[in-house]
Chain A
């Protein structure tokens, strides 16, 4: 009898735990997406970016987002009918880019009557207020361009005499851009607008308008284009006038543009376009999904008076190469061809850290995004091995038997994975090792973090920071597990830099075995032994709270600016470290960039699937991470520590 009672209690306990676990299962929501038409490649970019963001942000918010998409071929009545269809299909929320900003109002009302939230996208409703509006901030976009352009001219000792090629003056965006440009002009001595030419967003009028203005103003040395979709028209006009020359050439015409269409991107990279602010399809899509999730969760999306507006990013020839998620790069070929379906097998060693969830979501998102751009429909076949190398080998065998086209695997055992690599190669399936390289067999490619470069960039930035603050560092180094190649690389990089720099000196090294309790005791002990230490290097900040406790015990937990501040350089930027960096406790880190890893893995996979060389280095396609400080961390996109902090 007692045994039965005991068994019942145990089963109840397991049942309770199972309920807790099942409570974590994502909730499925359906979002209706109504396009006016697939009139520009931007629409394909928006759609792919939204689906990708749906995976990433949905995963982080515990939602499984399903999309129901239609397009109206430029017909407002058809769009109204399409939205009615979405309502009948029981979608939970609608996002619509209106063909007609007035006519969309009736659809907004219909949705509201049905209790379905409605987000207008890119084009606001002029008649009925939707639940939210997401779009570009065209005024801010032009203003940032004007500011950057003025700075550029000043830096080059040029006083600008500019021709302004406006858009259609019936278009609110075009008007806003012109207003912002001219308002800045009125306050700045860097340039003066000497001619204004309306173009009605017509490429031929861009050509004739630019030609005429150049004839009328031969002394003009700069131009502002309200959009660069017609940059080739301006190129023709400048060539005719003998003024088409890259920066550095005496005949160079200084060009400020808006949007950064694919042609403008190419010309900026070649040095012909000097400044632009992107029409940021990625940020628009990201914001639309964020707002949708907030509304679906009953939260306030915290939009401004005119909606949730995205200003875009300033780009110059020097910076444009470092800008991620440019639709003009990702969708340079415009509308994708009929997508070819490929199956990518993804073998995880285990879901042991939250990074794995982030990698998976980012890879799926990148699969949608890069796949769309490359004309591929990527299907994922995913399994995990619960930390067992033999199980992982069997899982990979399963993937091969299921006929996947390529395999990406994060090895549990860097030696044992070699047999799986060989098995895949024997079956003609390309194999990418991810995060952990194979020590025995060379795969088709390896994608991972560059832990040496990661620590080196941190050390460099940290040294610069200490020097700028007049501090000579006496640092405690909290190492990782010395059986882990990443931990060793980070320690080597830190100490090699230390040997060449006077900015700091490592006075104690403490191994932690990646154990949070050893971070605590190690830091406590090292602080006891070295009370004069004024800085620390953490081989990973996953256990930053342990170090926080140790520093609190030692009376050294204080933000920057406080005399008791312990200067902290870390690696990875885990969620807790992100918070503490924002509060001024952590001074420098280099991210372990899950997004960039996933992006690179998908890029390499697509290249291999297309028979192209993925162009990896000797040790593989390695991602170094991004340096972050309290001043810069807020502007870093796609931080897994922010995107997955609540998962």
Chain B
């Protein structure tokens, strides 16, 4: 099929170059267009205060998307991230509010629980060989059930001194934004500068081939699920500190937003392609900027879903096109390894 496509498509035509350019940079163009449009239409959109707020709102999703991206790069999916964020942040809140645990100790406990959940997901996928979608669907449902049972579906407010951390700033920038950007940078380095990152991409390009190349595919996949859960846990913590309470709605539907972000960020759901910087960051920013701008424009409330849906559809279509047209040249954004490790 690939050979047939390559023989029937004139690779030197302008159309191909334009198509490849759009596929590669389409969302950068969308991002620039959206920024321009909002800046001209909404007088307070392009202010430093609003842009800082925008980064603040996007912080939890940056962290969660960074973790999910690692799994998606292997060609798999983890849709339990929303429930992991909900359960672990709820447990942390309960430990502090109802059991008087020290916040730092709570943080450690919660991260360990996140790690264990990641191990569970990895176990289901790697050892029991359950489809990632089904395995993480199961944990998504069951973990939310456990979280709802633990909280009795109530909203539990954080202690005041913890809640205030949600608005903590360095200069005028929110600390959680800096943490999120730091996480993105670290994960970006992991993906682009370490063997682990290259193995992820290699597995995404073909698990059997990667195994033949000597890559320990099971361990790498397993670790990607652990990191995904850990970062979902961290994202959940940031979310709860931001909103000031563990609420039953935390993380509900977040997995779909996270997958949308991944796709908009150019990380292929088929695996083996994509980047954290600028890919995942771009995905988060596009969705957040659109929402922020619609707020500023006072848009019809019913427009939000339509616009978000349209963006996601376009992203999915672009991803599908990229998968079907393998002549797309590699670019600096793609993180595929240049040589075997």
| A interface residues with partner B (beta carbon < 8 Å) | 3, 6-7, 9-10, 12-14, 17, 20-21, 24, 351-357, 386, 479, 482, 491, 507-511, 513-522, 524-526, 528-529, 531, 542-543, 545-546, 548-549, 552-553, 574-576, 579, 644-645, 647
A528→B157 contact, CB < 8 A:
no
21 pairs from A and B in contact (CB 8 Å cutoff): A6-B119, A9-B116, A14-B120, A24-B149, A351-B149, A353-B248, A482-B302, A507-B298, A509-B301, A511-B301, A511-B302, A514-B249, A520-B242, A525-B54, A528-B47, A543-B155, A545-B155, A546-B245, A549-B163, A553-B56, A574-B155
A192 to B252, CA, bound (A): 67
7 nearest A-B residue pairs (beta carbon): A545-B244, A525-B295, A521-B57, A13-B116, A511-B301, A529-B296, A354-B154
B327 interfacial contact with A, CB 8 Å: no
A576 to B244, CA, bound (A): 10
Which of chain B's residues have a CB closer than 8 A to the CB of A354?
A: 152-155, 248
Nearest chain B CB to A385 CB, angstrom units: 12
A528 to B44, CA, bound (A): 7
B173 interfacial contact with A, CB 8 Å: no
* CB interface residues, B 148-182, toward A, < 8 Å: 148-150, 152-155, 157-158, 163-164, 166-167
Nearest chain B CB to A357 CB, angstrom units: 6
Among A357, A510, A526, chain B packs the most CB atoms within 10 A around the CB of A510
* CB interface residues, B 217-241, toward A, < 8 Å: 239
Known contacts A357-B153, A515-B252: A528-B243 contact under CB 8 Å: no
Which of chain A's residues have a CB closer than 8 A to the CB of B127?
A: 3, 6
B49 interfacial contact with A, CB 8 Å: yes
* CB interface residues, B 238-264, toward A, < 8 Å: 239, 242-245, 247-250, 252-253
Nearest chain B CB to A513 CB, angstrom units: 8
Known contacts A511-B302, A552-B164; 12 additional CB pairs below 8 A are A9-B119, A10-B123, A13-B113, A20-B91, A357-B153, A386-B141, A521-B288, A525-B53, A525-B292, A525-B296, A545-B157, A549-B163
A517→B153 contact, CB < 8 A:
no
Q: Which residue of the partner chain, among B152, B247, B301, contacts A357 with CB atoms under 8 Å?
A: B152
A516→B243 contact, CB < 8 A:
yes
Chain A interface SS verdict (over half): helix
Known contacts A517-B239, A526-B295: A542-B155 contact under CB 8 Å: yes
B320 interfacial contact with A, CB 8 Å: no
A575→B243 contact, CB < 8 A:
no
A531 to B53, CA, bound (A): 14
Which of chain A's residues have a CB closer than 8 A to the CB of B163?
A: 545, 549
Which of chain A's residues have a CB closer than 8 A to the CB of B245?
A: 516, 543, 545-546, 576
A511 to B119, CA, bound (A): 37
Which of chain A's residues have a CB closer than 8 A to the CB of B47?
A: 528
Nearest chain B CB to A181 CB, angstrom units: 46
* CB interface residues, B 103-126, toward A, < 8 Å: 113, 116-117, 119-120, 123
Nearest chain A CB to B169 CB, angstrom units: 9
A482→B301 contact, CB < 8 A:
yes
Nearest chain A CB to B295 CB, angstrom units: 4
Among A14, A20, A525, A552, chain B packs the most CB atoms within 10 A around the CB of A525
A7→B123 contact, CB < 8 A:
yes
Known contacts A9-B116, A517-B243, A545-B163: A524-B153 contact under CB 8 Å: no
B322 interfacial contact with A, CB 8 Å: no
Chain B interface SS verdict (over half): helix
Nearest chain B CB to A11 CB, angstrom units: 10
A45 to B141, CA, bound (A): 44
A522→B295 contact, CB < 8 A:
yes
Which of chain A's residues have a CB closer than 8 A to the CB of B50?
A: 525, 528-529
B153→A576 contact, CB < 8 A:
no
B278 interfacial contact with A, CB 8 Å: no
Known contacts A517-B243, A542-B249: A352-B295 contact under CB 8 Å: no
Nearest chain A CB to B237 CB, angstrom units: 13
Nearest chain A CB to B105 CB, angstrom units: 15
A7 to B122, CA, bound (A): 11
A12 to B292, CA, bound (A): 43
Q: Which residue of the partner chain, among B53, B91, B123, B249, contacts A528 with CB atoms under 8 Å?
A: B53
A479 to B146, CA, bound (A): 29
B146→A17 contact, CB < 8 A:
yes
Residue of A nearest to B293 (CB): A525
B291 interfacial contact with A, CB 8 Å: yes
Which of chain A's residues have a CB closer than 8 A to the CB of B292?
A: 521, 525
A548 to B146, CA, bound (A): 28
B310 interfacial contact with A, CB 8 Å: no
Nearest chain A CB to B128 CB, angstrom units: 10
Q: Which residue of the partner chain, among B148, B244, B248, contacts A548 with CB atoms under 8 Å?
A: B244
Which of chain B's residues have a CB closer than 8 A to the CB of A491?
A: 301
Which of chain B's residues have a CB closer than 8 A to the CB of A528?
A: 44, 47, 49-50, 53, 296
Residue of B nearest to A577 (CB): B155
B42 interfacial contact with A, CB 8 Å: yes
Residue of A nearest to B244 (CB): A545
Which of chain B's residues have a CB closer than 8 A to the CB of A524?
A: 53, 56-57
A549→B244 contact, CB < 8 A:
yes
Which of chain A's residues have a CB closer than 8 A to the CB of B243?
A: 516-517, 519-520, 543, 545-546, 549
Among B127, B288, B298, chain A packs the most CB atoms within 10 A around the CB of B298
A6→B123 contact, CB < 8 A:
yes
B153→A549 contact, CB < 8 A:
no
A511 to B302, CA, bound (A): 8
Which of chain B's residues have a CB closer than 8 A to the CB of A514?
A: 249
A542→B247 contact, CB < 8 A:
yes
Nearest chain B CB to A18 CB, angstrom units: 9
Q: Which residue of the partner chain, among B146, B167, B295, B305, contacts A510 with CB atoms under 8 Å?
A: B295
- Residue-wise interface mask of B (296-321) relative to A, using a CB-CB cutoff of 8 A (1 in contact, 0 not): 10100110110000000000000000
Which of chain A's residues have a CB closer than 8 A to the CB of B296?
A: 525, 528-529
B57→A352 contact, CB < 8 A:
no
A351 to B305, CA, bound (A): 27
Which of chain B's residues have a CB closer than 8 A to the CB of A519?
A: 243
B26 interfacial contact with A, CB 8 Å: no
B60 interfacial contact with A, CB 8 Å: yes
